[in-house]
Amino acid sequence: MSHPLAGALRQGLLELSLSLDEAAQAQLLAYMDLIAKWTKVYNLTAVRDAQEMLTHHLLDSLAAVAPLRRELAKLSKPEVPLSVPLQATGAALSVAHPRYRLLDVGAGAGLPGVVIAITCPDVSVTCVDTVAKKAAFVQQVAASLRLPNLRGLHARVETVVDPFDVVCSRAFASLVDFTTWSTSALAPHGVWLAMKGKHPEAEIQALPPSVKVFHVEPLTVPGLDAERCIVWMRG
């Protein structure tokens, strides 16, 4: 039986000029259903309406996929082994390493990290959050949707010291706090991806000289009448 929002997701993907196969679309909708199910008990998100969740969470995160793919293609990075240990708070996890590594900071229910893991199988995604139940939810999503390139990590981002090609956040903190807290996780060749609402001019002006904004990219989210942008930065 078809998912009631399958048509709306397909239309949104068309408007984003994003091509995804049926399997990936089914995973996205299954992920949204898991958020709805867990939110009844764990309050993962304030958004409860399914249509609103599709627009405000799924399509909002999907709007960053094409820009992310573009920037990944530009990265000049060293060769890496097939398996890379991830260290945080004294523990080590073995993370399957496709081609790129992305850290989603303050991931919450896994937005945009889970969406990136589904749509970009060549990206190994780690979603870090200080709330244990949110990291556990991401782990559950990885198991339920059979996503070997997705991990949930319960830790403070300041304790993550392994290098990531992209360190991203969505509605997480000010640009200063985001870059300061996550600087030890950014590879020398890496970039920061901060998803924001309106162009955060004051936050950009507050950044230290060591952080360079190289692009502020406006995003258009289908069905969402609100300003969105990505602030791209390098260390």
Does the reported pTM lie above 0.85? yes
What are the phi and psi torsion angles at 233 (to 5°)? -140, 155
pLDDT of residue 198 exceeding 50, the answer is yes
Q: Where are the beta strands (DSSP E) in the chain?
A: 83-88, 91-96, 100-105, 123-129, 150-154, 164-170, 186-196, 212-219, 228-234
- Whether the CB-CB separation of 65 and 18 falls below 8 Å is answered with yes
Write down the pLDDT at residue 171.
84
Write down the pLDDT at residue 69.
96
Average pLDDT, integer, range 198-223: 97
Write down the pLDDT at residue 48.
67
Of 121, 125, 90, residue with least CA distance to 107: 125
- Looking at residue 179, the DSSP 8-state letter turns out to be H
In the three-class reduction of DSSP (H, G, I as helix; E, B as strand; rest coil), residue 202 is classed as: helix
Q: How far apart are CA 91 and CA 143, in angstroms?
A: 21
Average pLDDT, integer, range 188-201: 96
Average pLDDT, integer, range 1-12: 91
Per DSSP bridges, beta strands 212-219 and 228-234 are antiparallel
pLDDT range class, residue 90, cuts 50, 70, 90 = very low
Of 49-58, 71-80, 119-128, 168-177, give the lowest mean pLDDT range.
71-80
Per DSSP bridges, beta strands 186-196 and 228-234 are antiparallel
pLDDT of residue 167 exceeding 70, the answer is yes
Place of tokens 């959050």: 129
